[in-house]
């Protein structure tokens, strides 16, 4: 979850002990095996020092697993290449990868801890492992790897650690202090469900009782943020895979844009009533702007976009995204993947696709494959061999479940037609990184003169004026897809709700004209 410009609001709540709990997403810091990134938006040191400047203490939550609402719990997808590897255990394949990661991470965390003059007062040991619990030796291993992972300075710190525990019921333990690491004042949403709310009266009552009994707590989430890009996770509900929405607003005290809510004022009132000093006045909310409607004037069918992708891979059988031999052997993490193979007859098609696959004969869509729908009929044709195309989307990997071991995406097994295994594939990776949109700008785009029913990329312009500010994109008439602004992925939209808008930070906008790209498959309503 990306935290926006909210810290100035947090420090005005009037806590006696202000702290920020911050996840460290492994899948962003090591997107390719052995290649680490701590720059730009991933600059851990700069983020923690910013918290220090505004007066916050910090609890770092480096995982390796960090939470259930981000893709694969924050684990990098290349860990799924070996189907025999057991994630979140002391399995050698997993621990070797964790060791290499913490060899990079621990030296960066160590100088930030309190005993070294920094703001970090604790480091979490893993997250939510009690609900997973596949290896009784795992938590001890994680504690050890952090104390020995390249810096002796963490050793003393970890003797005072407390694991993250989510309480539905508080068990009082004499005079021992109690810290509720996650007081849920809201909940996350997933596509196709009602929006979740936690009643303000419930939050007010719970916080008041905590204060009465001297119970410390973290509000989860005080500010939720946004699952930008393809970072959302997924849940398994009634045997159906459901994607977490782009917004991580969470019905929190501050919205994903940092605006006040009624919960904020409730918390401020309660905590202000026990503060020994008057609370300072509230800062003004972050400025927002309303911009002219975005019109999409040009489009490119997916089939004309393929030439702007990296060279396709030729393989005898289909492989999952994670096992595609690209990105220096690390495979593909997110987005779409397209499989093409010739067929010379119609008939009964059987295939394992994760999560959603559109099946085409040449340019004509035939139907949908998914984990719950693995069969369809291909109409008979008489004009020689045709091209079977299967476009598969990763809609978010599960995390809070033992199924995390089996979250490979794309075609995860062979495909058969009339019980004959199909072979000879051309495979395209559509992970839609920024360099892809740079190449796509040189394409000859078609003017939109009517409706196009196949998967396509659409393009328009957002005119932001001379001083861009935060805004929200409302997409009432769009069915499904993603929105990219100047090559940055804002996230998924879907007319089934509950999310109706996409948050757009003003810092991602250029003065005046901004490119809006809208890749959209052609799923049925």
Pair 445, 417 in one domain: no
Residue 345 to residue 59: CA distance in whole angstroms: 60
| pLDDT tens figures, 432-476 | 999 999 999 999 999 999 889 899 999 999 999 999 999 999 988
Domain count, the chain: 3
Helix, coil or strand: residue 307: helix
Is residue 298 situated within a structural domain?
no
Residue where a domain terminates, one of 208, 243, 273: 273
| Residues β-bridged to residue 507 | none
Catalytic residue among 30, 69, 126, 128: 128
φ/ψ of residue 60, rounded to 5: -90, 135
* Residue tagged 């809510």 (tokens): 261
The chain-wide mean pLDDT, for the chain, equals 89
CATH number for the domain that contains residue 213: 3.20.20.80
Is residue 293 situated within a structural domain?
no
Residue 186 to residue 197: CA distance in whole angstroms: 6
| Residues β-bridged to residue 461 | 515
DSSP secondary structure code for residue 125 in this structure: -
Catalytic residue among 69, 126, 182, 354: 182
515 is catalytic: no
Residue where a domain terminates, one of 366, 397, 423: 423
Pair 42, 116 in one domain: yes
Is residue 145 situated within a structural domain?
yes
Pair 165, 230 in one domain: yes
Given a cut of 70, the residues of the chain with pLDDT beneath it are 1-19, 147-176, 524-525
CATH number for the domain that contains residue 468: 2.60.120.260
Burial 233-256 (b: 16+ CB within 10 A, else e): bbbeeeeebbbbbbbbbbbbbbbb
What count of other Cβ atoms lies within 10 Å of the Cβ of residue 192? 14
* Residue tagged 């805004």 (tokens): 471
**What pLDDT score does 174 carry?**
60
Residue 81 to residue 93: CA distance in whole angstroms: 11
| pLDDT tens figures, 252-289 | 999 999 999 999 999 999 989 988 888 888 989 999 99
Provide the CB-side half-sphere exposure for 227 (13 A, CA): 29
Closest CA to 491 of 502, 500, 480: 502
Q: Which DSSP string corresponds to 324-384? A: SS-TTTT---SSEEEEEEEESS-EEEE--EESEEEEEETTEEEEEEETTB-EEEEPP--SS
Dihedral sign of CA atoms 328, 330, 335, 336 in order:
positive
Pair 329, 394 in one domain: yes
Residue 191 to residue 51: CA distance in whole angstroms: 33
| Residues β-bridged to residue 339 | 390, 427
Is residue 295 situated within a structural domain?
no
DSSP H or E segment with residue 305: helix 302-305
Is residue 1 situated within a structural domain?
no
Pair 128, 14 in one domain: yes
**What pLDDT score does 181 carry?**
81
Q: Could you tell me the two tokens for 184? A: 């849920």
Residues contacting 330, CB < 8 A, separation 6+: 31, 32, 33, 35, 76, 78
**What pLDDT score does 450 carry?**
86
Pair 150, 234 in one domain: yes
35 is catalytic: no
Is residue 41 situated within a structural domain?
yes
Check: CB of residue 483 under 8 Å from CB of residue 494.
no
Pair 84, 17 in one domain: yes
Pair 338, 262 in one domain: no
**What pLDDT score does 383 carry?**
85
Is residue 290 situated within a structural domain?
no
Give the domain extent around 343.
317-423
- List C-alpha distances in Å: 221 to 73, 224, 253, 265, 432: 17, 5, 7, 15, 30
Within 119-261, where are the H helices?
138-148, 154-158, 200-212
Pair 195, 220 in one domain: yes
Pair 50, 195 in one domain: yes
Is residue 428 situated within a structural domain?
no
Decide: residue 521, CB within 10 A, 0-12 exposed, 13-18 middle, 19+ buried.
buried
Dihedral sign of CA atoms 375, 379, 384, 389 in order:
negative
Pair 233, 343 in one domain: no
Pair 85, 215 in one domain: yes
Residue where a domain terminates, one of 423, 454, 488: 423
């Amino acid at each position: 979850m990306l935290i926006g410009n909210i810290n100035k609001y947090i420090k005005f709540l009037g806590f006696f002990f202000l702290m920020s709990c911050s996840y460290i997403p492994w899948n962003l810091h090591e997107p390719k095996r052995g290649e680490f990134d701590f720059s730009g938006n991933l600059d851990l040191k700069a983020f923690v020092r910013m918290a220090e400047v505004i007066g916050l203490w910090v609890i770092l939550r480096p995982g390796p697993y960090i939470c259930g609402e981000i893709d694969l719990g924050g684990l990098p997808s290349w860990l799924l290449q070996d189907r025999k590897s057991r994630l979140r255990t002391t399995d050698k394949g997993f621990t070797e990868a964790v060791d290499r990661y913490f060899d990079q991470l621990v030296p960066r965390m160590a100088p930030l801890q309190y005993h070294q003059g920094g703001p970090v007062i604790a480091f979490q040991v893993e997250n939510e492992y009690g609900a997973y619990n596949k290896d009784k030796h795992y938590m001890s291993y994680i504690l050890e790897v952090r104390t020995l992972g390249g810096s002796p300075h963490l050793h003393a710190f970890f003797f005072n650690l407390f694991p993250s525990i989510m309480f539905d019921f508080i068990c009082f333990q004499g005079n021992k202090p109690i810290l509720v690491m996650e007081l849920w004042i809201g909940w996350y949403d997933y596509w196709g469900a009602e929006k979740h709310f936690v009643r303000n009266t419930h939050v007010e009552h719970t916080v008041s009782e905590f204060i009465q009994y001297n119970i410390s707590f973290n509000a989860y989430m005080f500010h939720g943020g946004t699952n930008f890009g393809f970072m959302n996770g997924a849940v398994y509900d009634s045997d159906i895979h459901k994607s977490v929405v782009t917004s991580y607003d969470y019905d929190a005290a501050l919205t994903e844009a940092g605006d006040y809510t009624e919960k904020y004022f409730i918390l401020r009132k309660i905590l202000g009533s026990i503060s020994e000093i008057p609370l300072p006045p509230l800062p003004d909310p972050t400025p927002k702007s309303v911009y002219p409607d975005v019109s999409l004037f040009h489009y490119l069918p997916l089939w004309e976009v393929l030439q702007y992708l990296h060279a396709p891979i030729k393989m005898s059988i289909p492989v999952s995204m994670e096992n595609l031999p690209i990105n220096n052997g690390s495979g593909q993490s997110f987005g779409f993947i397209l499989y093409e193979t010739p067929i010379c007859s119609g008939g009964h098609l059987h295939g394992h696709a994760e999560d959603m696959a559109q099946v085409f004969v040449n340019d004509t869509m035939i139907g949908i494959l998914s984990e719950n729908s693995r069969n369809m009929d291909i109409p008979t044709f008489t004009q020689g061999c045709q091209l079977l195309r299967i476009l598969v989307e990763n809609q978010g990997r599960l995390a809070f479940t033992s199924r995390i071991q089996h979250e490979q995406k794309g075609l995860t097994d062979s495909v058969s037609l009339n019980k004959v295994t199909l072979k000879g594939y051309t495979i395209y990776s559509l992970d839609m990184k920024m360099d892809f949109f740079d190449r796509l700008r040189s394409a000859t785009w078609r003017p939109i003169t009517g409706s196009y029913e196949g998967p396509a990329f659409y393009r328009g312009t957002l005119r932001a004026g001379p001083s861009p500010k935060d805004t929200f994109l409302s997409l009432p008439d769009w069915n499904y897809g993603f929105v990219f602004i100047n090559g940055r992925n804002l996230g998924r939209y879907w007319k089934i709700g509950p999310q109706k808008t996409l948050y757009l930070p003003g810092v991602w906008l250029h003065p005046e004209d901004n490119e809006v790209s809208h890749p959209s498959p052609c799923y049925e309503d």
